[in-house]
Structure formats: structure tokens, C-alpha cells
Amino acid sequence: MNKLIILLSALLFVGCKKNQSNNTDTKITDEVITTSEVTEMPLTPDVIEENEIFIDSTNFKYAKLDSFDLREFDWGERDRKFKFLTKNDFVKYFQDTELELDYVYEQNYHFFSLQKNEEAEKIITLIEENETCCAELHLMVYDKNNKLLSNNVVAGTGGDGGWYYDSYGYFANDSTYIKTKVDKEMIFENDNDSKHDVDSTYTEYKFIKNSTFKILTERTYKSTEIINSYTDTILPVAKMNLLYPEKNKEFQNFLNQFPKVYFPIKIKGCDNDFPNIKLLDKEISSDYEINPYYIYGQIPTNGDYIAIITIGAADCYLPVLTTYKLNGERIDQKTIAIGGCGSGPCFDCDELMTIDVNYNLYTANNFKYYDCDENYDEVSDKVTTEVIYRSGRLTENGIIELTEQLKKQNNRTNKFISTVDYHKFKIQKGQLGEVKLGMTISEAEKKLSGLRKEIGEATNFGYGGGSPAYLYYDKEELILGLIPKLDTDIVFLIVAVSPKLNTTNGLTPASTVEDISNKYPRIKVNQNLMNSWEEIWDTNNNWEFVFMTEDKTVGEYPELELPSELKNMDIKTDWITIK
């Protein structure tokens, strides 16, 4: 359910000068909140009146939030906007038997949101502040006896002495919380700009209501940002060299042509029509690129250099990767394509280029040759497939490493009789057919007779951390994948890929957005910030309908982390993830 990304240029630190939050979630009240008189009395954690109302909804400013974010938290306005906890309230909600109440300051704790208030379960969020540094948002869960079951920090903001951070997140489903934490430390400052090291960590937690968060996957990205001292805005390009301001201005103008794109990157040169593609502006590009290439995007880097992708036009589009030093001097350039692809009588060809989150490069031409006579009519079902490919990586110093062209070939018949009974592989909650989450891989494979196995990478399905993806094929068709929990053989995720598979409500891994909308009339789409893909969530069944969209997207996202209405109804699902 409620996703990457990893757009560091959009993660602005907002301090005491921030404006009032534009949060559009349900507000309980916008009136000025005042507190009633509190009679002081010696307090201990067991001082809670038996008949006292445990939760008073009027204390909270928000209700039933889908995401949690304190980036626009205004310290100066907190007492006006949020009601603070009394010491009685602190005892009631934090239930900390070891803390000395003499060190509890009421003005440091504020009510934030009421998430759930039922007899069997209550969930609230409370702000805890340290005036010398930071503010944290606690998610508190209580049982039917008002006993605190868990206390997890779901968001935070603050800083001190050139260092500052923000963390924010959302529930992808009832048992998974996705949190982004961005740490920034100033390492250089002059009259115009300041340079900052940035660590961005994206963590997926398992949420158990009676326990602390458990880390499922975690990724950290390092980069550098430059912030303009006058406007307090991040310059469009990270990692600019402050020592050459005039040269940087020219290089900056060149780079401003490129939108930010994020991993994994997948370009099908013969299929993609790039409807909004534009040529480089010759006037501002000639010092950095003399070829009449088209603009694709600027990608994140793993070192102190800049990397862009341009597109050359031939029978199929050819992606070109170029790297530059921080002052605009070119480091390397390579066409990440085989070339010579296209279609003709009795053969087809697809061209593919990918770059994953670990900076691995892969490009291939996938040929199919059919058995034809002199009139180009097929005379048999024999098909010869040939793959010509290169692989490599983008190094930390900006060098593009690629192998020589390699070739794989095999003969097969075009038509084959499948031995797999797809009716037995129904997509259900927590399982695909008889393959269930929590099984070992070997247990699951006993249910997958008739399928051949290959080993891929979980990153191809948006999950990092080093886990493999076990892929299962019916002849040449990928049917499903199993992703184990890191460093175990326990099935953590099931990826349903084949259009021959069906959910219990009649959808498939190739259903269109319109098909999904017909089953879920008020559903919205979410953008995964880790990889810029899009996802529609069935929260009851814990299914994710994943769309590896690029130029044409399912929704529109003017604000990060907010779901969108469905816009383009003809886009097809790429796969369904069972969580």
C-alpha cells in the first residue's frame, strides 16, 4: 500500500521560518487551542483515574493521517496550533515507569493526530520536542485495557551546528511502514552558496502493533547538494564545484536541459516513441556535446561526477551515457546499445538498455528468426532466437566499463504445449496457488513442478539489500518470482508476472488501469519514490499492481508522497507483488 526516490533536489530543509503546513488531511479543529487549568499533584505512572476518558478527540489537530511528516512543523507556532500534554497526560500515554517526572516539561509534548479510537484498539501520534535540537513524532498503540503496546517514531525534523535532518513516511499497508530519512551536514560555505553532504536512507519496516519496528529492507544513498545562501533553495544540479563559478554557470545551463531520472532505468529503443523528446540546444550545449542528440535525463551518481543520458536516433533510439567532472570537463562517453536492430521479413528485433541501482549496465538486441521460404512465408514453427549483449558498470570515478559484444543462440519451436495448469496458480492473499509467504524456497519449489528456474536480482522488482530473485519460467515465459528475506531462504515476496495468472477477483498481472478501476472504483495510484514506478494497492489482500512507467504515467504527483487520481486508463500492469 502507501512508496524511492529519491529526488534529493526536492528535499528542502524547512526550519523555524516555515509557513503553516498545507497538509490536506482531515483537521479536527483549526481554532486557537488553549489548555485548561491543571491542578498540580505528585505524579507516578500509576496515577490514572479509573473512570477517566482515555482519549479526548478534541485534543488532536488531525485525524486518520495516511502519512507522517514534520518538515513544515513551525516551532514558534506549536503552542497555538497544537495542544500540549500535561504531566497527567504524559503518564497516561507514555507509561514510562523509569522516567522521573521532574524532568518532563509539558511544553515539550504535543498532541498531533488521532488515528483510531475503538474499544479494542487505540492509535494516536504525539510530538516530542527537544528545544536544543529536534522534534519526533511517536505512533502509540494501545490495547482494550489502554495498555501501551508499542511506541515507534514515524517522523522527525531538526538540526544543530551545520547538521540537520528530516524523516517522514507512510504506511504501505497495515503491516509495512516506509520511512525516508535525509541527513545533511554543511561542509563548505562562501558568500553565495553552501555545500552539504547528504545521506538519504529509505527503510521498509515491518509494523507489529505490539512491538517496535523491524527493518525489512534499507537503502542509503550519498550525494552532495549546493544551497543558494540568498534564496535558501537547492541548485538544480547537485555536486557542482564551487571553485569555478563562471564555468559552472555555463555547465549549469547545459545541465538544466535534463530532467532528473532515477533507477532502475529501462529504455527499449525500438518500442519507446518518446513523445516529448527534445533536441539539445546547440547554443548552450556545444562546449559539452557537439552531436545533435535528444535529451533523456540526468541520473544519480556514485561519486563526484555528473552523468547524463542522451538519445541518438537511428532505426531505433540509441541511449548514450556521458560523464563529466564537476567543472564540466568530459570524463567518458559510450553508446549503451548494440545497434542494427529493427524488424523485417522473417525476423524481429528488440533493443534494451538498463541501469540498476547498483550502477550495473546491460544492453542487448533480442533477435527472433523465423523459418521462411523465398516469398517470406513461414513454412514451419521453428524459431531461432539470438541475443547479442554487453554488460558493465558505471564506476565511482565516472568511467563507463562495458564488455565486448557477446552472443547467445538457441533453436526452439514457436508453439509449445504448456504442462502447467494455471488454474492452480490463483493469486490470493499471502499466496500464489499453493506457494505461500513464509515458506522456505525449497518448500515452495515443490509446488512449482514443470517450471524451470533462473536466479536474478531483487532490484529488478524494486527491492534492494542484496537479496536474489528466484525466477520460474514456463519454457521461455516468465511466470513468477520469489524474493526471500535478506540472508534467509524464507519467501518474503511473491511476484506474479504472467498474464495467464488470475487474482481471486478476476484481474491479471497485465490488467489495465481501467480494469483495476472497475474492481476498485475509488482507488488511487501512488508513486514509489525509490524508483519512480507507480503502484495501486489492494490493502485488503496486500497486493501491489506495479507499473514501470516512464514518460506516460498513471497519475500526476505535484506533491511528493501524496496519491493521485487515475489519469491514463490504458496503461497495463507490469506485475503484481504479493506481500
Q: What is the pLDDT of residue 202?
A: 78
Q: Is the dihedral of CA 283, 288, 291, 293 positive or negative?
A: negative
Q: What is the pLDDT of residue 24?
A: 38
**Cβ atoms 544, 535 nearer than 8 A:** yes
Question: Which CATH code is given to the segment(s) 419-579?
Answer: 2.60.460.10
> 3-class SS at 401?
strand
385 CB-side CA count, 13 A: 11
422 to 313, 436, 477: CA distances (angstroms): 42, 16, 13
Q: Which of 520, 548, 543, 482 is nearest to 172 (CA)?
A: 543
Q: What is the pLDDT of residue 419?
A: 61
Look-up of cell digits 523528446: 277
Q: What is the pLDDT of residue 273?
A: 62
Q: What is the pLDDT of residue 125?
A: 95
Q: Which residues pair with 501 in a beta bridge?
A: none
Q: Which of 177, 181, 180 is nearest to 209 (CA)?
A: 177
535 to 229, 342, 510, 547: CA distances (angstroms): 38, 32, 13, 6
Q: What is the pLDDT of residue 27?
A: 38
- pTM for the predicted model, two decimal places: 0.38
DSSP secondary structure, 493-559, as one string: EEEE--TT-EETTS--TT-BHHHHHHHSTT--BEE-TTTS-EEEEETTTTEEEEE--SSS-SS--SS
**Cβ atoms 481, 448 nearer than 8 A:** no
Q: Which of 562, 403, 573 is nearest to 498 (CA)?
A: 573
524 to 8, 528, 564: CA distances (angstroms): 25, 13, 6
Per-residue confidence in pLDDT tens, the chain, 579 aa: 333 333 333 333 333 333 333 333 433 333 333 333 333 333 333 433 444 589 988 889 888 888 898 877 676 777 778 888 888 888 889 887 666 666 667 678 889 999 999 988 999 999 988 766 788 999 999 999 999 999 999 999 988 877 888 898 888 777 888 888 888 887 776 666 677 777 878 788 888 888 888 888 777 777 666 665 544 444 433 333 333 334 467 888 888 898 888 777 888 888 766 667 889 998 999 899 999 999 998 888 888 889 999 998 877 889 999 999 888 889 999 999 887 776 667 777 888 888 987 788 999 888 878 788 777 776 777 778 788 888 888 998 999 998 888 877 665 444 444 567 888 899 999 999 999 999 999 899 989 988 888 888 888 888 866 678 899 988 778 999 999 988 788 999 999 999 999 999 999 999 999 999 999 999 999 988 777 889 999 999 999 999 998 889 999 988 777 899 999 999 999 999 999
Rounded CA-CA distance 437/430 in Å is 6
What single-letter amino acid sits at 302?
N
Any long-range contacts for 483-491 (C-beta under 8 Å, 24+ apart)? 483/458, 484/441, 485/216, 486/217, 489/440, 489/441, 489/442, 490/438, 490/439, 490/440, 490/441, 491/435, 491/436, 491/437, 491/438, 491/439, 491/440, 491/441, 491/444
Rounded CA-CA distance 529/5 in Å is 3
Please give the grid coordinates belonging to residue 411.
Answer: 533453436
Per domain, the residue ranges of the chain are 8-228, 251-413, 419-579
Q: Which residues, 6 or more positions from 521, have their beta carbon under 8 angstroms from its beta carbon?
A: none
Rounded CA-CA distance 470/445 in Å is 10
Cα angle vertex 275, ends 269, 278, to 5°? 90
Q: What is the pLDDT of residue 416?
A: 45
Rounded CA-CA distance 229/485 in Å is 45
